[in-house]
Structure 1
């Protein structure tokens, strides 16, 4: 899961997908992590509003810490799912030519359309809730892809 600072959308996506995979009995089938393309929040926990929103839905992301996308991520993961088109562009530029990783838009790869997950950072609790709902729906579709081994 990839966003800009790795403190809002991508840690939420990591936490939600982990929970849904576990509930489906598929946690051993997929390794989930999150990163940001920027480095301004490296080492920090998720935004307190993201933590509160996730907690409201039974997902604990408080233990996660922001890290920046590395070249090794393109070899360590089969699929890098980006929160929005800007992040997708940045990640694709960084992808080594030798990497076989798919770098895709999160909602599009989940079959929910070529839409962005809006960055809630400068918004309100409502914006975090909207992002959460989009991510939750995408995670449900990703679980099905994992179940059917379609990646």
Structure 2
């Protein structure tokens, strides 16, 4: 059994690649690499093929996450069939994904912060236009939600 997770923001250069890098790290340390596949994408194609934003990479690197191999891509219709769980960073991107999805695909689409345990926020704020401190907040939120998601995946695996 493989569990496939897609993390989605607008341009796929800040929040969703951060979430991908952090989640990949937690998958590895929890020995779930053979079971969980993770990817990220954007609802808009502004940055297709680009590496994550340099500020995102710096903040992630300071915590030991390497995002340099990631490249931005746009969500494709086939992603909605391929991935078991599609997690949006905010409500705007959630709405964009829901508009793309068929009725059968709707239950796969949720907010990433639904898995957070220490943050009450529904959305991971977009740090792109803000000051540098926003990238650390994004990391805090993404780490929290990633740990919660790992816990849920482990529960699901115990049930099967």
Report the TM-score range of the alignment, normalised by the length of the smaller protein: over 0.9
Aligned match for 1:84, one of 87, 90, 100? 90
Alpha-carbon shift at residue 147 of structure 1 (Å): 1.1
Aligned match for 2:149, one of 134, 142, 145? 142
More deviation, 41-50/93-102: 93-102
Alpha-carbon shift at residue 99 of structure 1 (Å): 3.0
Alignment of 1:49-128 (within 5 A): 49-99=55-105, 102-110=108-116, 112-113=119-120, 115-128=122-135
1:32 paired to 2:55: no
* Residues 1:6 and 1:91: Cα distance change in structure 2 (over 3 Å): same
Alpha-carbon shift at residue 33 of structure 1 (Å): 0.2
Residue of structure 2 equivalent to 1:5: 11
Larger strand share, 1 or 2: 2
* Residues 1:90 and 1:119: Cα distance change in structure 2 (over 3 Å): same
Aligned match for 1:41, one of 40, 47, 62? 47
Structure 2: 5+ residue stretches without partners: 1-6
Query: TM-score normalized by structure 1?
Result: 0.93
Aligned length: 150
SS of the residue corresponding to residue 37 of structure 2 reads coil
Distance in 2 between residues matched to 1:114 and 1:57, nearest whole Å = 22
In 2, are the aligned partners of 1:15 and 1:61 still within 8 Å (CA)? yes
Structure 1: 5+ residue stretches without partners: none
